[in-house]
Amino acid sequence: MSLTLSIDAMGGDVGYQVTIPASLQCLKKNPQLKIIMVGDQQILQEQLSQALVEFEGRLSIHHASQIVDMDEAPQKALKNKKDSSMRVAINLVRDGVADACVSAGNTGALMATARFVLKMIPGIDRPAIISTLPSIFGHTHMLDLGGNVDCSAEHLYQFAIMGEEVVKAVENIDNPKVGLLNIGEEDTKGNEQVKAAATLLENSSLNYIGYVEGDSINAGHTKVDLIVTDGFVGNVALKSIEGAAKMIGTKLKQSFADGVFSKLAALLAYPVLKAFKDSIDPRLYNGASFVGLRGLVIKSHGGADAKAFETAIHLAELESEKDVARKISEKVELAIANRDGEES
């Protein structure tokens, strides 16, 4: 079964110099994959002249005359950049030409555009952002990571339903363990929304394991596969972990740079330190999915290099193969129908 991805070739801090090598690498790895590079026809034609021959029938260019700036206001991009590489890549998903789109562009603009073009699944207000975080034993999925700052219990419940489908697809498991992020594991802990969401989750068909604390994020998957929280808390947790990893990496480097003996030790320990660094390489965790939309949109870090962008494309492949957007839509519809049934 072939699958087609539209790539916002011009998006991100670097643009086509990252998106092109990553896309070609993915085409090499997956013979079922087709890619549409969206962006300036002339530039892409020039850059891809050889590749278009090598991947004939699987690689094509779709022209888009504009680029959304990384700091452009979302509403401005929506209004003035109707022919941007980002917008056109999303249009291709809406029109059924592509199964999913991948962009390293401006997050706010990508979310606003995706919402405008693809529309939300009925019953969902705003897209949520879900991504994978490294853990001791594997990794943990978490949402929302920034889309929704003020969340009701109902929102948190919907995140759990949507997140479950992503985890099932990406991890290839049946009953992901779902935890609700809180400041303690006891029933009495937390704010009103979290307590009310816990009741909704307890009465759902999800494999709900209860409250988890911040230190469980890096304890997946043995403890929890999916952590649900609002976009404010999720974003702060994600960034806090990034900051901690950066601090620890810097201190480790400093320790090994400190004095002649340390430098010698660093030299001898180099392969081990390299293996360690690779094991927590953030590029292997690049790619966040926007869920709640009538179509698949994967967001890459703006500063991603080719290897990191490849990870984001790979996520789009996985979610397309498993038809995640449709499954989410069906699950949400069912959950709303069940609740309406109970209420009437």
303 is an interface residue for a second copy by CB under 8 A: no
∠ CA 142-147-152, nearest 5°, is 80
102 is an interface residue for a second copy by CB under 8 A: no
Stretch that binds a second copy, among 29-37, 47-55, 57-65, 130-138 (CB under 8 A): 130-138
Least distance to a second copy, CB of residue 266, Å: 7
Beta strands in 254-295 (DSSP E): 288-291
Nearer to a second copy, 257 or 334 (CB): 257
CA distance 48 to 42: 10
Quickly count helices (H) and strands (E) in the chain. Answer: 11, 11
Residue 125 CB burial class (10 angstroms; 0-12, 13-18, ≥19): middle
The distance between the two most distant Cα atoms of the chain, rounded to a whole number of Å, is 76
Q: Is 39 helix (H, G, I), strand (E, B) or coil?
A: strand
Q: Using the rule CB under 8 A, which residue among 181, 198, 312, 335 binds a second copy?
A: 181
Residue 246 CB burial class (10 angstroms; 0-12, 13-18, ≥19): exposed
260 is an interface residue for a second copy by CB under 8 A: no
Least distance to a second copy, CB of residue 245, Å: 6
337 is an interface residue for a second copy by CB under 8 A: no
Q: Which residues pair with 33 in a beta bridge?
A: 3
CA distance 111 to 87: 11
Q: Say how many C-beta atoms besides its own lie within 10 A of residue 107's C-beta.
A: 19
105 is an interface residue for a second copy by CB under 8 A: no
Least distance to a second copy, CB of residue 164, Å: 21
266 is an interface residue for a second copy by CB under 8 A: yes
Q: Using the rule CB under 8 A, which residue among 1, 53, 260, 275 binds a second copy?
A: 275
Least distance to a second copy, CB of residue 221, Å: 13
76 is an interface residue for a second copy by CB under 8 A: no
265 is an interface residue for a second copy by CB under 8 A: yes
Supply 26's token pair. 């993915």
Over the window 207 to 246, marking each residue x when it contacts a second copy by CB under 8 A and - when it does not, the resulting string is: ------xxxxxxx---------x-xxx-xxxxxxxxxxxx
Stretch that binds a second copy, among 6-14, 42-50, 89-97, 144-152 (CB under 8 A): 144-152
Nearer to a second copy, 14 or 236 (CB): 236
Which strand (E) or helix (H) includes residue 207? Answer: strand 207-212
Q: Using the rule CB under 8 A, which residue among 11, 12, 15, 134 binds a second copy?
A: 134
Supply 112's token pair. 């606003």
CA distance 45 to 320: 27
Q: Which residues contact residue 67 at a Cβ distance below 8 angstroms, ignoring those fewer than 6 apart?
A: 10, 11, 15, 39, 81, 84, 85
Nearer to a second copy, 5 or 238 (CB): 238
247 is an interface residue for a second copy by CB under 8 A: yes
Chain residues binding a second copy by CB under 8 A are: 134-136, 146, 149-150, 181, 183, 190-192, 213-219, 229, 231-233, 235-248, 250-252, 254-256, 258, 261-262, 264-266, 268-269, 271-273, 275-276, 279-280
